[in-house]
A and B are shown apart, each in its own frame.
Chain A
């Protein structure tokens, strides 16, 4: 509000923020575009592959889709260190859960564990995660867990810095009960558009299709994106 009313402020007199992403010194961020869409019978997860430290691209082909159990995955955005630690913890707790319960974990349990850790450590974490997978109880489900630790089940979840550029596109293109092929094409298209506009997203598009029968992982090279550059 004060910025709008300060009519005398000119671009040269307003200081630039040297750390727009709130990164600690030398911290690596997956400024990212991640996405997950459930369809009847499974889930499609997608992500870009750029990992940046400020303007330097630390890794141009990273894998931001992490596996938590046989049929549950999570897309990671925000601090790479924080999300890797989170993924390790949740993977560990889910393994223990499966041993005790004697059956495969459900996506709901995975999402709840992820959310609990994110919420309880919200002051020290910078992590936005999308948990998606298939289980025999609820079928294909997706939970979006942004900064702060809310957990919302969604029929189309996007996250990361690039997601802001494609909210309109996903709202327009998403329809309920898409087929596997439609959902996959939708994810690839949306992430391409985000990568075209977001400086922190780029590289290749990695996808994972998770259903009862198994998991298919593939990637689209940077020169074959549905929408480029």
Chain B
């Protein structure tokens, strides 16, 4: 009898956010941060990008949706190069994605300056994860509405890697994503 009532309430909250979705610094009663979920939603509604890890490299591909027939085909880049040995595909808001790519370029440059070598793939991906995550717990900021798929070549270990960083800041390594 009481279980049925609770279920009704939960359904109502899940669909509307009911005031727990106004800021990334507020948890919902069922343990979610709605702003991050909404950011992930905005990614899933944009053009697809795909990454596949192969034995001899990584393939990254992006679907580029053209808003107008007048748009120059070369404009609206979604595949970015981040220094020698790394490539990044962005899905979601192109402007947010651009910010992540810029940060990736700065990270690679500063790492090279400090340690003398290019960062290992897992290190770069982890640092981008940290960066994206920061925007999910600061009250005055909003989460990134973009996912970055990073393909890298590790010249020390002589292997390729594929990572993906989503708006929550989680970063995983994939065979394909």
A residues neighboring B (CB under 8 Å): 97, 100-103, 106, 108-109, 111-113, 116, 137
Q: Which of B115, B117, B123 has the most CB atoms of chain A within a 10 A radius of its CB?
A: B115
Contact across chains for A101 and B122 when beta carbons are under 8 A apart: yes
Shortest CB distance B117–A (Å): 6
Contact across chains for A100 and B126 when beta carbons are under 8 A apart: yes
Contact across chains for A116 and B114 when beta carbons are under 8 A apart: yes
Contact across chains for A113 and B126 when beta carbons are under 8 A apart: no
Shortest CB distance B126–A (Å): 7
Contact across chains for A109 and B116 when beta carbons are under 8 A apart: yes
Q: Say whether B30 faces chain A, with CB atoms less than 8 Å apart.
A: no
- Residue of A101, A108, A112, A113 touching B120 (CB-CB under 8 A): A101
Contact across chains for A109 and B122 when beta carbons are under 8 A apart: no
B residues neighboring A (CB under 8 Å): 114-117, 120, 122-123, 126, 156-157
Contact across chains for A137 and B156 when beta carbons are under 8 A apart: yes
Shortest CB distance B163–A (Å): 13
- Residue of B116, B122, B126, B156 touching A112 (CB-CB under 8 A): B116
Q: Which residues of B contact A137 (CB under 8 A)?
A: 156-157
A116 to B120, CA, bound (A): 20
Shortest CB distance A106–B (Å): 7
A112 to B114, CA, bound (A): 8
Q: Which residue of B lies closest to A102 (CB)?
A: B122
- Besides A100-B123, A102-B120, 8 new A-B residue pairs in contact (Cβ under 8 A), listed by A number: A103-B120, A108-B117, A109-B115, A109-B117, A112-B114, A112-B116, A112-B117, A113-B115
Q: Which residues of B contact A103 (CB under 8 A)?
A: 120, 157
Q: Which residues of B contact A106 (CB under 8 A)?
A: 117, 156
Shortest CB distance A151–B (Å): 9
Q: Which residues of A contact B116 (CB under 8 A)?
A: 108-109, 111-113
Q: Which residues of A contact B115 (CB under 8 A)?
A: 97, 109, 112-113
Q: Which residues of B contact A116 (CB under 8 A)?
A: 114
Q: Which residues of A contact B114 (CB under 8 A)?
A: 112-113, 116
Q: Which residues of A contact B120 (CB under 8 A)?
A: 101-103
Q: Which residues of A contact B122 (CB under 8 A)?
A: 101-102
